[in-house]
Amino acid sequence: MGENRHTTYRISEAARELGISAEWLRVGERRGYFPPAPRDRNGHRYYTQEDIERMHGRSSRQSRRRHPGPSVGETAHAQASLKVRIGRLFLWEEAAVRERDWSTARRAVLERTALQEYWHHLAASRWSSDRG
């Protein structure tokens, strides 16, 4: 972006670095999973390498060493909770479609999709730790 002398990333680039979608990064920020990103004068989010490392669970001084992730039991519990939330969002989406409330239906679809993506991410990390 060039607004400061550090390299900055747009949301799509930061999401790619984190291995998630830009939509999940937005949802994660709204829900407090990630810290709010600074914005440029046009209102677009931007991230520094330090922001990305922090979101990866790394400190800037230990960028080569990852902190241990959640245990298999914690991951399974998170997946079960997500599955319940995804089911509720699906019902919310169906009700909104029946009532022709397209704005609410779209919001439910976006949130459900982001949570499903995160659920699959947890499943992949759990699978790799089981094999590991």
> CATH number, domain at 42?
1.10.1660.10
pTM as predicted: 0.42
98 with 117, same domain?
A: yes
CB 23 within 8 A of CB 115: no
> Of 18, 34, 62, which one is at a domain's C-terminal end?
62
Percent of the chain with pLDDT over 90: 8
28 with 50, same domain?
A: yes
58 with 87, same domain?
A: no
Q: Select, from the ranges 3-7, 73-77, 112-116, 123-127, the one with the highest average predicted confidence (pLDDT).
A: 112-116
Complete DSSP assignment for 1-52? --SSSS-EEEHHHHHHHHTS-HHHHHHHHHTTSSPPPPB-TTS-BEEEHHHH
Mean pLDDT (whole number) for 81-102? 88
Structural domain of residue 24, as residue ranges? 8-62
Q: Quickly state the pLDDT bin for 57 (edges 50, 70, 90).
A: low
- pLDDT of 59 higher than 50: no
Tell me whether residue 67 is in a domain: no
- pLDDT of 15 higher than 60: yes
